[in-house]
Amino acid sequence: MEPRIETLSEKKLIGKKISMSFAENKTVELWKGFMPRRKEIKNNLTTELFSLQVYNKSFDFKKFNQDLLFEKWAAIEVEDFNTIPDKMECFTLNTGLYAIFIHKGAASTGEKTFKYIFETWLPKSDYYLDDRPHFEILGAKYKNEDPESEEEIWIPIKTKRPIEK
Residues 6+ apart with CB under 8 A from 109: 103
Residue 165, pLDDT above cutoff 60 = no
Q: Which amino acid is at 30?
A: L
For 80-89, write each residue's pLDDT tens digit.
999 999 999 9
Whether 30 and 87 have beta carbons less than 8 Å apart is answered as no
Number of domains in the chain: 1
Domain membership of residue 129 as a residue range: 4-159
Does the residue 112 lie in any domain?
yes
Does the residue 164 lie in any domain?
no
> For residue 66, what pLDDT is reported?
83
Q: Is 9 left (phi over 0), alpha (psi -120 to 50) or beta?
A: beta
Least confident window among 79-88, 92-101, 141-150: 141-150
> For residue 164, what pLDDT is reported?
55
Looking at residues 101-118, what average pLDDT do you find?
91
For 56-74, write each residue's pLDDT tens digit.
877 777 677 788 899 999 9
Does the residue 109 lie in any domain?
yes
CATH at 54: 3.20.80.10
> For residue 163, what pLDDT is reported?
54
Does the residue 149 lie in any domain?
yes
Whether 73 and 127 have beta carbons less than 8 Å apart is answered as no
Q: Which residue has the higher pLDDT, 161 or 20?
A: 20
Q: Which residue has the higher pLDDT, 161 or 155?
A: 155
Buried b (16+ CB within 10 A) or exposed e, 22-57: eeeeeeeebbebbeeebeebeebeeeebbbbebbee
Looking at residues 135-161, what average pLDDT do you find?
93
Does the residue 165 lie in any domain?
no
Pairing state between β 127-129 and 4-8: unpaired
* Overall pTM > 0.85: yes
